[in-house]
C-alpha cells in the first residue's frame, strides 16, 4: 500500500480534482491520502508571528489546518473515505476504497521536540507510512522537483520540512517527492504497482 501526501499548496490548484480522482479511483484498496494544511496552516504561522503563542498551540492548530483540508478533499472526491487510526485505514483499504487520513491523532497534549515547525505534514505523512508498513511514500508538491535532488537538498530548499530527511533515513520503503505535474508518472506507478 502507498501513502500519498498532497501538499497543501495544491489547495488552490486546478489540478487538485484530477489528483483526487486519480487517487480515489486507482488508489482503491491500496492508497492512504494525507492532506497538507495549505493556506489554513499559513494562517496559523501568521497568527503565531503576530501573537507569539507557543509551538504546542501552533502544532495543534496546524493539525487542525490539515483536518480542514481533509474535509475539503472528502467533499470534492466522494471515493475517499475518512479514517483516523491505522486500523481504520486498513479496514477502509480492505473494502477496496481509498483512505483519507483524518489527522486528529496527531494532536498533542504536551510540547515535545516534534511540536515545532520543523515537523510538518510531510513528516506526519512519513510517520503514518511507518505505522502502516507502507510500501511507498509519495509527496506531491506544487513546485518543480528535480528527480535527482536528495532529501537533504529538498529540506534546505524548504520543499520538505527540517525533520523529514532524518526520519526518512530510518525507513526501508522508497520515498518519491514529485511535482504537481507528475500526475501521469504517479498514475503509471499505481497501474504497474511500482
| Start-end of H helices in the chain | 16-25, 38-51, 55-76, 86-94, 121-131, 151-156, 164-168, 183-192
Q: Is the pLDDT of residue 194 over 80?
A: no
pLDDT tens digits for range 179-192: 999 999 999 999 99
pLDDT tens digits for range 92-143: 999 999 999 999 999 999 999 999 999 999 999 999 999 999 999 999 999 9
**Tell me, what CATH number does 170's domain have?**
3.40.1160.10
Q: How many residues does the chain have?
A: 194
Strand partners of residue 176: 138
Residue 6 Cα distances to 9, 13, 84, 113, 174, angstroms: 8, 11, 17, 24, 17
**Can you read off the three cell numbers belonging to residue 113?**
521536540
Residue 184 confidence (pLDDT): 97
Domain enclosing residue 59, as ranges: 2-192
- The pLDDT confidence band at residue 31, using thresholds 50, 70 and 90, is very high
8 Å CB contact between 104 and 84:
yes
Average pLDDT over residues 139-149: 93
8 Å CB contact between 137 and 62:
no
Q: Is the pLDDT of residue 3 over 80?
A: yes
Contacts of residue 112, Cβ cutoff 8 Å, sequence gap at least 6: none
Q: Is the dihedral of CA 127, 60, 38, 10 positive or negative?
A: positive
Average pLDDT over residues 8-14: 95
Residue 2 Cα distances to 60, 126, 137, 192, angstroms: 26, 11, 6, 13
Residue 148 confidence (pLDDT): 87
Which among 85, 88, 79, 70 has a CA at the least distance from the CA of 34? 70
Q: Is the pLDDT of residue 152 over 90?
A: yes
* Domains contained in the chain, number: 1
Amino acid at each position: 500500500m502507498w501513502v500519498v501526501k498532497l501538499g497543501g499548496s495544491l489547495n488552490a490548484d486546478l489540478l487538485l480534482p484530477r489528483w483526487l480522482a486519480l487517487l480515489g479511483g486507482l488508489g482503491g484498496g491500496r492508497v492512504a491520502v494525507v492532506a497538507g494544511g495549505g493556506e489554513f496552516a499559513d494562517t496559523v504561522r501568521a497568527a503565531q508571528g503576530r501573537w507569539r503563542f507557543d509551538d504546542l498551540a501552533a502544532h495543534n492548530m496546524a493539525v487542525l489546518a490539515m483536518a480542514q483540508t481533509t474535509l475539503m478533499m472528502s467533499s470534492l472526491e466522494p471515493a475517499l473515505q475518512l479514517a483516523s487510526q491505522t486500523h481504520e485505514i486498513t479496514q477502509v483499504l480492505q473494502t477496496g476504497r481509498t483512505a483519507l487520513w483524518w489527522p486528529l491523532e496527531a494532536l498533542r497534549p504536551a510540547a515535545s521536540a516534534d511540536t515545532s515547525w520543523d515537523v510538518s505534514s510531510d513528516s506526519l505523512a512519513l510517520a503514518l507510512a511507518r505505522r502502516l508498513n507502507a510500501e511507498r511514500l509519495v509527496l506531491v508538491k506544487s513546485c518543480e522537483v528535480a528527480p535527482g535532488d536528495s532529501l537533504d537538498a529538498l529540506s534546505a530548499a524548504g520543499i520538505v520540512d527540517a525533520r523529514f530527511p532524518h526520519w526518512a533515513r530510518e525507513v526501508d520503503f522508497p520515498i518519491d517527492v514529485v511535482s504537481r505535474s507528475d500526475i501521469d508518472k504517479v498514475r503509471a506507478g499505481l497501474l504497474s504497482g511500482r
